[in-house]
């Protein structure tokens, strides 16, 4: 039996894009979030957790539950799972919420990572700098994202400031990876265990925020493509994951190194909306509702995604470019806030590059 009504914990742009993909499949969406004027607001009812019997009402109105963020309360997910299926399951969620657990999972599965050590005292930090070799990246094990809760220790003289910035948290020290670029792979697994992978994307960040994703990754060897697919499929099967998962990778001379996973649809996969036969959002909905998965094949040879950050910018300009697709999130302008994205599809890298050049003003905050 296929589910008809999806409950989403959260009501941001990821839920909105799930609903935009699921509505043609006759799926209805209900959002569980305190905010009511949010990106998903026009796509289904929002139930506010602070209202009485909210969780009961939410669960009574849906067949299956999913979430938008890896910071979703895992205890809430466990509680919900007693009465309604939640996908991705608690196992995927908890493992991606803790960097040490996550990296140990990678290591156990033969997925290469940077060497790492747990750090809870300054002495352990000093020891880690010696054992791992400088530089190291020091991160909080929980609640860190987009480079927040992190410090790079380049020389011994950075140890004090890194410790002062992050002490009081459980920490992970990672050897610094000399990567040439950052990549991600997205895959989906259905309830029966069938999996599909999307082409890898190359991701450009600045100030810890994803700016541009491009597909295909230029010059990526078949061996690396296979390595990434094998990593993510192994991970999906091991976790018993249902829905979309994302694995962020560093590209290095000695192969791909896994950085982190997200048990959800991902910003680096927004290009799949126009770029593939079935987008990450559609396949996530299909998977969690018990429907057959759709094709993850690219529609054209090249695609890109530009995040619209901070300011809406010149929308007319985007709309005037034939192979550009504007996606807005109904969000107000605010510094560093992701408020939309532009997808580009083309038959050549040159066409993509030309469109990116025309849209350069969007790559950093629009003026």
Q: Which residues of the shown chain bind ligand AMP in the complex (CB under 6 A)?
A: 114, 137, 144-145, 147, 174, 176-177, 182, 205, 259-260
Lookup: tokens for 55: 């969780």
Task: State in angstroms the smallest separation of the CB of 289 from ligand AMP.
Answer: 30
Nearest CA-CA partner of 185 in 231, 237, 223: 231
- What separation in angstroms does the CA of 302 have from each of 229, 343, 356, 363? 19, 11, 12, 18
CB count, 10 Å around CB of 289?
23
Can you list the alpha helix ranges (DSSP code H) found in the chain?
Answer: 13-22, 54-60, 74-80, 90-96, 99-108, 122-132, 159-166, 222-239, 272-275, 280-289, 315-319, 349-358, 360-363
Nearest CA-CA partner of 309 in 359, 259, 350: 359
Is the CB of 242 or the CB of 247 nearer to ligand AMP? 247
Cβ atoms 265, 280 nearer than 8 A: yes
Is the CB of 70 or the CB of 182 nearer to ligand AMP? 182
Task: State in angstroms the smallest separation of the CB of 187 from ligand AMP.
Answer: 18
Lookup: tokens for 28: 């209805």
How many angstroms separate the CA atoms of 366 and 206, rounded? 14
Task: State in angstroms the smallest separation of the CB of 162 from ligand AMP.
Answer: 14
108-139 core/surface letters (b: 16 or more CB in 10 A; e: else): eeebbbbebbebeeeeebeebbeebebbbbbb
Is the CB of 146 or the CB of 237 nearer to ligand AMP? 146
Lookup: tokens for 145: 């994202």
Question: Most distant CA pair in the chain: distance in Å?
Answer: 61
Is the CB of 63 or the CB of 70 nearer to ligand AMP? 70
Backbone Cα Rg of the chain: 21
Task: State in angstroms the smallest separation of the CB of 205 from ligand AMP.
Answer: 6
Is the CB of 208 or the CB of 292 nearer to ligand AMP? 208
Task: State in angstroms the smallest separation of the CB of 182 from ligand AMP.
Answer: 6
Helix (H, G, I), strand (E, B) or coil at 250: strand
Task: State in angstroms the smallest separation of the CB of 179 from ligand AMP.
Answer: 7
Is the CB of 259 or the CB of 343 nearer to ligand AMP? 259
Task: State in angstroms the smallest separation of the CB of 174 from ligand AMP.
Answer: 4
Is the CB of 43 or the CB of 137 nearer to ligand AMP? 137
Task: State in angstroms the smallest separation of the CB of 194 from ligand AMP.
Answer: 29
Task: State in angstroms the smallest separation of the CB of 213 from ligand AMP.
Answer: 13
Is the CB of 29 or the CB of 116 nearer to ligand AMP? 116
Is the CB of 348 or the CB of 364 nearer to ligand AMP? 364
Nearest CA-CA partner of 70 in 13, 144, 17: 144
Cβ atoms 276, 298 nearer than 8 A: yes
């Amino acid at each position: 039996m296929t589910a008809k009504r999806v409950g989403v914990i959260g009501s941001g742009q990821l839920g909105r894009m799930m609903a935009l993909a699921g509505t043609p499949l006759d799926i209805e969406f209900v959002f569980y979030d305190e905010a009511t004027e949010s990106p998903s607001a026009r796509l289904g009812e929002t139930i506010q957790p602070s209202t009485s019997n909210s969780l009961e009402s939410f669960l009574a109105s849906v067949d299956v539950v999913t979430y938008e963020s890896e910071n979703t309360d895992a205890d809430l997910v466990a509680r919900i799972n007693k009465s309604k299926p939640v996908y991705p399951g608690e196992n995927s969620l908890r493992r991606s919420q803790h960097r040490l657990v996550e990296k140990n999972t990678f290591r156990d599965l033969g997925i290469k990572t940077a060497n790492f050590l747990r750090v809870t005292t300054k002495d352990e930090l000093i020891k880690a700098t010696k054992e791992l070799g400088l530089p190291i990246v020091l991160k909080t094990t929980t609640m860190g994202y987009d480079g927040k809760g992190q410090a790079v220790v380049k020389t011994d003289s950075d140890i004090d400031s890194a410790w002062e910035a992050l002490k009081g948290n459980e920490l992970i020290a990672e050897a610094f990876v000399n990567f040439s670029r950052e990549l991600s792979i997205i895959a989906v697994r259905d309830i029966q265990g069938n999996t599909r992978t999307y082409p890898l994307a190359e991701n450009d960040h600045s100030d810890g925020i994803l700016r541009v994703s491009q597909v295909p990754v230029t010059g990526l060897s078949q061996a690396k493509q296979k390595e990434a697919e094998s990593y993510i499929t192994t991970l999906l099967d091991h976790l018993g994951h249902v829905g979309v998962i994302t694995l962020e990778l560093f590209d290095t001379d000695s192969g791909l190194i896994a950085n982190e996973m997200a048990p959800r649809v991902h910003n680096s996969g927004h290009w799949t909306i126009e770029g593939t036969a079935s987008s990450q959002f559609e396949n996530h909905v299909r998977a969690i509702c018990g429907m057959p998965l759709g094709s993850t094949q690219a529609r054209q040879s090249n695609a890109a995604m530009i995040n619209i950050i901070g300011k809406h910018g010149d929308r007319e300009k985007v709309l005037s470019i034939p192979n550009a697709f504007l996606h807005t999130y109904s969000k107000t302008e605010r510094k560093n806030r992701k408020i939309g994205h532009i997808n580009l599809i083309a038959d050549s890298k040159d066409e993509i590059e030309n469109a990116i050049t025309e849209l350069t003003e969007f790559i950093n905050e629009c003026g």
